[in-house]
Amino acid sequence: MNANGLLLKLSSLGVPDEVIKRYQEPHRFYHTPEHLYDIYQQLLERGLANHKTLLLATAYHDVIYNPQSATNEEDSAQYFMQNYDGDAQLKQEVYNVIIDTKTHQPRSELSAIFCDVDLNILRQPLNKLLIYEDQIFKEFQFADFSLYRVKRVEALRQLQTKVSKTDLEALITYVKHRQPQIAVYPGSFNPFHKGHYNVLQKAEVIFDKVIIAKGSNPGKEDSVFEVPAILSNRQIAVYTGLLTDYVNSLSYPVTIIRGLRNSTDLQYELNQYRYLQDLSSQHLKIVSIFCDREFEHISSTGIRQLQNYGMAGAYLL
């Protein structure tokens, strides 16, 4: 009901469907339509569900969201100014509110209200904070876990000053000691194609995070393909030398993912596993994942051959 109510109100204010669709982008896990509905619920409870400035700020404050960017708030505010047709004073108020969400240091009464409702998640009990943490962790898949843990604790410490009487200290302790299930998906990926992506998606159901480890294989051609845009928010590591050396260099335990197409691949990977066992100084965990039937004929070698005739597009991401 509240979701429909918000959508109807935004539509009446001239907010196009495209704005809400942006909150459904695949790299979003917390900054989604559900976050907007939570803000609207709080506005309802405060009797502010018809306040135009706050409603527009709700819709546009995260309309541009790239977890690798440091200017999301500025970009969202600018997007609003360029794409919303409304009263100049109203637009300036909304712009200011959006900008204030960058630091959550409000410069007006309206900003104070919006910053407070925007941070509602921080006042939730620990069980909900853990869900929130997992969502943020997934949004920052591109960052190495060791760096993520340090920066995340720093961010939570800063947020802790914005609200009182929360379970954030317990969440910080959890982040400090959490050991997520992380996998490494290695390959030359020349190119990274739909079959690889099918295996990656299956691995991401099993593991909290999957690192795509692009290795330089002296027995294969150097890659001439760009990394697909769909992988831009995942961690991509490039290594030379032995896979075991790369895995041993990580400061946290990982499981190696091997993608399989058929029984021939299975036999090959079994031989590779024996080599990995011989070369590693630690016990290696390896999980093999079969791709779906529709992708089992796809190979990077075949794609490179088809590329010479301009016919590889159907197999690329």
Q: What is the CATH number of domain 182-315?
A: 3.40.50.620
- Token pair belonging to 299: 């190979």
Ordered alpha helix ranges (H), 261-311: 263-279, 300-307
pLDDT at 223 (0 to 100):
65
3-state helix, strand, coil in the chain (%, to 5): 55, 10, 35
Residues 39-74: tens digit of each pLDDT = 999 999 999 999 999 999 999 999 999 999 999 999
Its pTM stands at 0.92
Question: Which long-range contacts link 42-46 to residues 24+ away (Cβ below 8 Å)?
Answer: 42/117, 42/120, 43/117, 44/2, 44/5, 46/113, 46/117
- Percent of the chain at pLDDT > 90 equals 84
pLDDT at 220 (0 to 100):
62
User: 236: which strand partners?
Assistant: 212
Residues of the chain with pLDDT under 50: none
pLDDT at 267 (0 to 100):
74
Q: What is the mean pLDDT of the chain?
A: 93
